Amino acid sequence: MKFHCLLPVREEADIIGQCLDHMLTWADAIYVFDTGSIDHTWEIVLDFADRDRRVIPLKKDPVYYSETRLRGYIFHQAREKMEEGDWFLRVDADEFHHIPPPEFVKTYLRPEETIVYHQYYDFKLTEKEVIAWEKGEETLGDRQRPIQDRRRYFMPSLYSEPRLCRYRSTMKWSIHTSFPYNAGFVAKERLPIRHYPNRDPRQLDRRCRLRAIMMADPENRKNWGNADEHHWSTADWREFVTANDEPMLNYWQPGTELPRYQFTNHLQSPPKRLAQRLVHQFMLPFLDARRPGFPEDTYPAKISDQVNEILAKELQEI
């Protein structure tokens, strides 16, 4: 069995190299779609692709991020090379799998478990780290250091979503879902991922401006039911800085084990879970045949020229 990574990127030049280095220690294929970076993200991806055929650049095109159309589009490009029993993963450029997925599947999964939710360890940018940056004690040059050496304070996330799934040729991923229908029988164990969305003030400022502009765009807002309340609408990067006395904040020493959390909020009640197991064991081909597919001409929605100009102006200023 092989492991296929579905990776959308944008404005990740400070981390994409480390991300790809990490995934290439275990992945068999990494399919990359750049949604319009104006930094050097795409050039870094192409450089990796020149050196390792497992990195597969699909396209660079200014499109709106979408859990349904964009993720689904990448999946349908990648599935042409998937075989029954392979595994595919939704991944992001700021994620590092604390346990390599092949090892996780071999060690932690039961044979009947075919879809895995993630356990995020959200690494934070703290107030003291911001002060150190403003004093010049940390600079852009420090981006050459491993991110795990720069950001060491994390909080465990209770929220979880499906990330790792065993492929079957009959499964359907429509334009209305963020993952295939009836993707699989949910594993009890979660896949531990170190998550670094807030890496330094400069990067975080770019991230917030990018997302706030996108969320303010009327065309994009159609993809988000609660756009005003979504954290992507927050333009002030300091809103994401964490106080050092936050009770839930933990320190991690690289090279040591992370604490293991046994959250179960991703699981259904035992009776319903038993029913799901029976359904997934005997009825999936029948259910798959009744689900809508992904139309061949479906493509992520393009970002307007006006919004692209605003994004370019804002991001170039940082």
- Complete DSSP assignment for 102-142: HHHHHHH--TT--EEEEEEEEE--BHHHHHHHHTTSS-GGG
Please give the pLDDT value at position 227.
54
Please give the pLDDT value at position 225.
66
H/E stretch holding 44 reads helix 41-51
Residue 183 confidence (pLDDT) above 60 = yes
What is the pTM for the complete model shown? 0.95
Question: Percent of the chain beyond pLDDT 70?
Answer: 97
Residue 32 confidence (pLDDT) above 90 = yes
Mean pLDDT value across the chain:
94
Residue 165 confidence (pLDDT) above 60 = yes
pLDDT by residue (tens digit) across 276-314? Answer: 999 998 999 899 999 999 998 999 999 999 999 999 998
Q: How confident is the model at residue 223 (pLDDT cuts 50, 70, 90)?
A: confident
What pairs with residue 31 in β-bridges? 6, 56
- What tokens does 276 get? 């799901």
pLDDT by residue (tens digit) across 83-131? Answer: 999 999 999 999 999 999 999 999 999 999 999 999 999 999 999 999 9
Residue 179 confidence (pLDDT) above 70 = yes
The full set of domain ranges for the chain reads: 3-316
